[in-house]
Amino acid sequence: QVQLVESGGGSVQAGGSLRLSCAASGRTLSTYTMAWFRQAPGKEREFVVALSWRGGVTRYADSVKGRFTISRDNAKNTVYLQMNSLKPEDTAVYYCAGDYYGDVYRNEGYPYWGQGTQVTVSS
C-alpha cells in the first residue's frame, strides 16, 4: 500500500504559479498511474490530470491544458503538478491519487489518495 502526502499549496494572485508535490511512501511510484484531482467549495471533485505508470501518456482536463504540467521524479518517489497562469476558478483543494498499474484513461477508481492541499487564487 502506498501513502501519499501533498504539499505546495498556498495563496497566489491570478496569473501566478504554484508547484504542488505528492510524495509517496510504502511503494515505488514507478508502478502507479498518478493523477491530480481538485474540489472547489460546493462543487464535486473533478479530474485535473493523469500520468501513466509507464510515464509515456498524460491526459489533461480541458480547463488546465497548456497551463498545468504533471511530472514524476522516480528517484524522489514524488509526483509534481506545475500550475502556471493560475485563475480564480482554479481555487480548490488539490488531491493526488494513485492506482497500481492503473488505466490512465479512467477517472474513477483510484484507491490511494492524499489528504489534499489548498490552492487559493485571488483576482
CB distance 67 to 85 below 8 Å = yes
Longest dimension (CA), the chain: 40
pLDDT digits (tens, 9 = 90+) for 75-104: 999 999 999 999 999 999 999 999 999 999
Amino acid letter, 111 = P
26-30, 66-70, 117-121: least confidently modelled range: 26-30
Q: Each residue of 54-92: b (16+ CB within 10 Å) or e? A: eeeeebbbeebeeebbbebeeeebbbbbebeebeeebbb
CB distance 19 to 8 below 8 Å = yes
- What does the pLDDT read at residue 54? 87
